[in-house]
């Protein structure tokens, strides 16, 4: 009988399966397959849908490398981690859900730690050859999120502001302030397939970067 494939969601519940009440967490450095883009994620012909195809193309090329000639050092069998995204809007604090066309995003899928940047570049080349498609937009991205507040959001993406408000109330009471910048971004992890799950049942981890409240005298 084969052993079960390693599942990041189950092995690292603190990062992928938080409770639906806010918690403070320190997120270590992780590597991702990343595609950057702009525009409404719901646009059928938009950049976002194309980006998802690129991410999964690379993710499965790496996962299935065990069957080919390129043997990745330290490889173990695993379940491809969930789709995630970092989101912002240029020149605007926070997110205006009425104007999704203004979204900027980095769409990502986590890479197992054994995947080096060279392995990643091999996968981009391999996917390009096999699928006769351009995968050059896919990049190797390392992010160390550090101190964050996060919460499981259950329901439609458009209802996220209520969960975000709860998170911000909680972090304030714990002595933290929001620390979103061009380096530290609003982060979502998609645990449900929106094509198959009713909007009110969608599970999404929402994560915001925070820092300790400074000394009021220092401003």
Measured between alpha carbons, how far is residue 92 from residues 88, 99, 161, 173, 219 in Å? 8, 11, 15, 25, 22
CB 83 within 8 A of CB 13: no
d(CA 95, CA 219): 26
**pLDDT one-digit tens code per residue, 202-218:** 999 999 999 999 866 55
Measured between alpha carbons, how far is residue 48 from residues 71, 179, 206 in Å? 31, 26, 19
Identify the DSSP state of 191: -
What is the pLDDT of the chain when averaged over all its residues?
A: 94
**pLDDT one-digit tens code per residue, 93-135:** 888 888 999 999 999 999 999 999 999 999 999 999 999 999 9
Residue 1 pLDDT more than 60? no
d(CA 191, CA 189): 6
Identify the DSSP state of 122: H
Residue 179 pLDDT more than 70? yes
The token pair that represents 154 in the structure block: 């259950």
């Amino acid at each position: 009988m084969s052993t079960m494939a390693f599942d990041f969601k189950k092995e690292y519940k603190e990062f992928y399966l938080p409770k639906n009440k806010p918690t403070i967490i320190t997120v270590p450095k992780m590597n991702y397959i990343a595609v950057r883009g702009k525009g409404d994620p719901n646009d059928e012909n938009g950049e976002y849908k194309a980006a998802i195809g690129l991410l999964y193309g690379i993710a499965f090329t790496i996962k299935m490398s065990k069957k080919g000639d390129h043997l990745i050092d330290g490889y173990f069998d695993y379940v491809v981690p969930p789709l995630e995204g970092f989101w912002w809007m240029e020149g605007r604090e926070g997110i205006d859900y009425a104007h999704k066309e203004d979204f900027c995003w980095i769409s990502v899928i986590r890479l197992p730690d054994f995947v080096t940047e060279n392995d990643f570049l091999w996968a981009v080349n391999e996917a390009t050859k096999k699928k006769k498609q351009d995968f050059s937009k896919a990049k190797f991205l390392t992010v160390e999120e550090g101190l964050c507040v996060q919460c499981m959001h259950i329901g439609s993406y458009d209802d996220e502001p209520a969960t975000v408000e709860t998170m911000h109330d909680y972090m304030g009471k714990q002595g933290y302030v929001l620390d979103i910048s061009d380096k530290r971004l609003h982060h979502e992890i998609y645990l449900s397939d929106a094509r198959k799950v009713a909007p009110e049942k969608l599970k999404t981890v929402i994560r915001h970067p925070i820092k300790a409240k400074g000394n009021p005298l220092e401003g």
